[in-house]
Structure 1
Amino acid sequence: MTQQPFSRPGAFDLSSLRRPTPSANDAGGPGSGGADGSVGSAYSIEVTEQNFQGVLEASMTAPVVLVFHSPTRSPESTTYAAHVTSVVDQFDGRFLTGVIDVDAVPQIAQAMQIPQVPLLLILLDGRPASQPIPGLLSGEELDTLFQTIGQQLTAQGVTGRHQPRTAPPAEGAESGVDPRYAPAQDALEAGDINRAVEEYQKLVDGNPADVEAAAGLAMAKVLQRTQDADLNAARVAAAEAPDDVDAQTMVADLDMLGGHVEDAFNRLIALVARTAGDDRARAREHLIGLFAAVGNDDPRVLRGRQNLASALF
């Protein structure tokens, strides 16, 4: 198998594809299950018109592997799609599989100019990041492909992971405070923010799929960044420098602490919309961290993700 170069931006423009607004029962983003298209895997989603925008947005955190298949025209392609999903699951969130039945959603395949099934297409930052990969690859070829992409991403400084679509409770966990989080919670109660960050970081390093630890770490970092901040001075600085990423993210953090969650999101979404390059990337990354602190199932986060996608595309 010839390795495809992995690049950031993509090879094709998806701007012509209609992006429907997710319905109340179809959030479309990673981290939810069942109604949003879960196909029985921690890191896969059945792609529909309704959740396609969420799949695009998910690729801004880590790559999404789209696998196109047709159960009527090519039954082996459907078997292959399940095989790709199984291989991707072994990478613990480094990738998310988006399974696309071209018979059920032909408009997506047409918009993306998919010539045949089976076919793989890898998205990053909402765009294809490699040439399409047609045909049936063996398990060994798939493993090599995803390992190579993972190494290239790491070399580029891209280390994000998808949250699992289903998070089973920890073995032996009971109602009340999970003992895994006790050291971090104790540090927060003692006012030792730096130690709380360290404790949450240990949990995330040990299990990147731990959604609660990731959320705790994100919020602890907000507390850490704002320990010595002066709200009035921060607002003055942000007003005087509307495109200064540091000034704007500081006010967004302070808004979060004050309970003005949507204000924080909207400030950074507007910053993403009017900046470019490294500044845009920093603003987007900071916003995604705030999303994690609030929780992916929160309706304010779902709206924020939609608005972020609109700002980017």
Structure 2
Amino acid sequence: MTNSTFNRPGAVDLSALAQQPAPSGRRGTRNSWVMEVDESTLEATIRRSLQHPVVLELTSSRVPGTDRLAADLAGLANAAEGRWLLARVDCDAHPQIAAALQIQAVPTVVGLLAGQAVPLFQGILPHDDIAAVIDQLLQAALANGIAGRAEPIAVPDDPATAPVRDARYTEADEAVARGDFAAAEEAFDALLRANPADSEARLGKVQAGLWARAGQVDAAGVEARLAADPTDAGAVLDAADLAMVQGRAAEAFALIIGLIRTTVGDDREPLRRRLLDLFETLDPADPALVKARRDLATALF
């Protein structure tokens, strides 16, 4: 993302946030709990293990059988739907990670809990044996109070089966690709004015608007504003936007709903509208969204 407005002092660098889980459930994507790790994302991956278990797969395509191991681990991770996250390291491309973790042979699979490495196994195991080892890791996580769920990662559908993108969205899509989310929002808005029933343009406008707003937010400033006045609606909305683009949807929803609970009359409406916009960026079946809808109904009535 090269838009210069993302590089001003104090602003959130969305080029870094692109490594974080993005709001999922968009058309043309599917949810996954498998991510690739390199030197720039290893530390953040380790930090994730403070909330939920992470399984670190250190592998090499030069070793026979690793494709089967990778498929088994990915299948188990996606079937668990967030109970743990699979983080994959290509040791051929990133030998520094293997050296730092003192890996003697690949493939090696390591568990991460509360920032600590837990050796799981080396070599290639049968599917059922892998599942049993990971079950032990999950039991250890629960025993240590680590019971969070990993946010899903939106990954593109297979291009061979994905639907062809309508040419009407080209201008907006190109703006998104170059990181100009304000221009993308305007382009999607123009499509909506021409056809208010265009659900694809509506979703695109909401998502682009979210990233455009977040790109202008001073994260430290928002924290200070909330500390000074937790009922500052602007600060709450800014904080919620940041949480959303960083993959913390449940936190974003809780911030806004918490303020709605203490707000009356017309002051509630901007909060409610923003919350509904953020709802649109997630899959309707997402657990964070399902809970937030219930919480909103309670807060309003």
| TM-score after normalising by structure 1 | 0.44
Return the structure number with greater relative CO, CA threshold 8 A, min gap 6.
2
Give the TM-score, by structure 2 length.
Answer: 0.46
